[in-house]
Chain A
């Protein structure tokens, strides 16, 4: 089943499903949790050997992998927990205060 949740932020109370049930699987991708962040992991491609420890440890599937290689961070969903930066053995990920990087 496809569940259209466009504009859910402003839905009237009568439109939400009973008990706020989620009516389709995989819907957490629709919830943009990136704005929870106070710090963001910044990836230095040159230091990275694509060991993918960051991918394994990321609790939010916010490490983007393409063709088996580390390809960056999904900032729409990364909550800035910093686990990836802690686990990275090559210091290819470091946490930067959000206000220093926001344009």
Chain B
């Protein structure tokens, strides 16, 4: 029987980590860290898990230690947030380039300056080209589910890439939520034992291997990056397969995105993470009044499910993309909208695209603000504006 818990988001991540029972967890234990590792440290102290937990002196060292442990052939996890992810920066690329299947929770929070501790997606969006798979989670349930699946995705022989599971800071990380947890036996059967690839473990004395070598002055960096692209592309298939397998285990299936009310819709709202809950609750009322509008909640941002997404989005007249980050490219909107615009470029029918930036530095996305956007969308003239319109929801203007 699955257990139903009332726990905060960070405890949902720690619960997943307890079941995963990684060999090594290296973390920087104080702020910008979150309570994910505080809870997990309790499990370590209580002997509930067999994990070697390493408290390091910075997030840079946390990721470095994870890289070493993963290269040695262990199942490795960590967690971070905001500035912590920023300090991991160069190591993120190393973990991905060395093809190490590290799994990390990232509690989405803004980046300084000005100093601000609240939710937005600036941290993970900045890391979007670091070679990490990125899964986004609307609530604590999805955080838990994504983490279990992330281990399988990362370790899949066709993938072998690190995975970052993102969840909104405070809104989800620190709020109590209903979480249905798999039985330990069921979870562990789904996870399976970690099998390091033969000949790719530093601690395999029978097959010595060098990891992280210089590629030579006229070397093979280019080839390695191309191979990473290919692994990312293969990850799309693997993510789908594992999402389906997880559905059979848990009753909760996962794909690249989740749809709400898109049958017969003319307008599609695209968003990530917790904002989807607020948007969905407003759409429910709008749809009851006959509005032809629905929601596409994107779960997989890296790899980018471009082909499928382009086909789906091309079916709508208008696509409104909600971005909780900005590219600071001079009023060109957020990263999610930029990706979607690029994806739609090759489509014969291109829907009108509108970008709503919202919630930077934790500014609340209230129901009234969603209504404001929906009213504006409904009143927009049929002829698209020549440039991508970028609106700032909830900005004091």
Contact = CB atoms under 8 A, between A and B. Distances in A.
Contacts of B216: 31
B163 to A, nearest CB: 16
A48 to B, nearest CB: 31
B97 to A, nearest CB: 6
A14 to B, nearest CB: 7
- The 3 closest A-B CB pairs, nearest first, are A22-B210, A13-B223, A19-B99
A29 to B, nearest CB: 13
A27 B224 contact: no
Given A18-B227, A19-B211, 13 more contacts: A9-B218, A11-B223, A13-B222, A14-B230, A16-B224, A16-B227, A19-B224, A20-B213, A20-B215, A20-B220, A20-B224, A21-B210, A31-B216
Interface in A18-49: 18-25, 27, 31, 36
Interface string B5-39: 00000000000000000000000000000000000
A13 B227 contact: yes
Interface of A: 1, 8-9, 11-14, 16-25, 27, 31, 36
Contacts of B226: 13
A22 B224 contact: no
Nearest to B97: A19
Interface in B98-117: 98-100
A1 B199 contact: yes
18 contacts: A1-B207, A14-B227, A18-B99, A18-B197, A18-B200, A19-B97, A19-B100, A19-B211, A19-B224, A20-B97, A20-B213, A20-B215, A20-B220, A21-B98, A21-B209, A22-B210, A22-B211, A36-B217
A18 to B, nearest CB: 5
A23 B217 contact: no
A20 to B, nearest CB: 5
Contacts of A17: 200
Nearest to A18: B99
Interface of B: 97-100, 160, 197, 199-200, 207-211, 213, 215-218, 220, 222-224, 226-227, 230
A60 B170 CA distance: 53
A9 B197 CA distance: 25
A44 B266 CA distance: 84
Given A16-B227, A18-B197, A20-B213, A11 B220 contact: yes
Nearest to A32: B216
A58 B280 CA distance: 67
A9 B217 CA distance: 11
B94 to A, nearest CB: 10
A93 B197 CA distance: 47
Nearest to B215: A20
Given A14-B227, A14-B230, A27-B210, A21 B200 contact: yes
Contacts of A14: 227, 230
Contacts of B208: 24-25
A8 B220 contact: yes
A9 B220 CA distance: 8
A16 B199 contact: no
A27 B98 CA distance: 18
Contacts of B227: 13-14, 16, 18
A20 B94 CA distance: 12
Contacts of B160: 18-19
A19 to B, nearest CB: 4
Contacts of B220: 8, 11, 13, 16, 20
Contact of A19 (B98, B207, B222): B98
A19 B67 CA distance: 13
Contacts of A9: 218
A21 B224 CA distance: 10
A95 to B, nearest CB: 21
Contacts of A19: 97-100, 160, 200, 211, 224
Nearest to A12: B223
Given A9-B218, A11-B220, A13-B223, A22 B197 contact: no
B156 to A, nearest CB: 12
A27 to B, nearest CB: 7
Contacts of A27: 210
Contacts of A24: 208
A14 B231 CA distance: 11
Contacts of A13: 220, 222-224, 226-227, 230
> Which of B208, B215, B222, B230 lies at the interface centre, i.e. has the most chain A CB atoms within 10 A of its CB?
B208
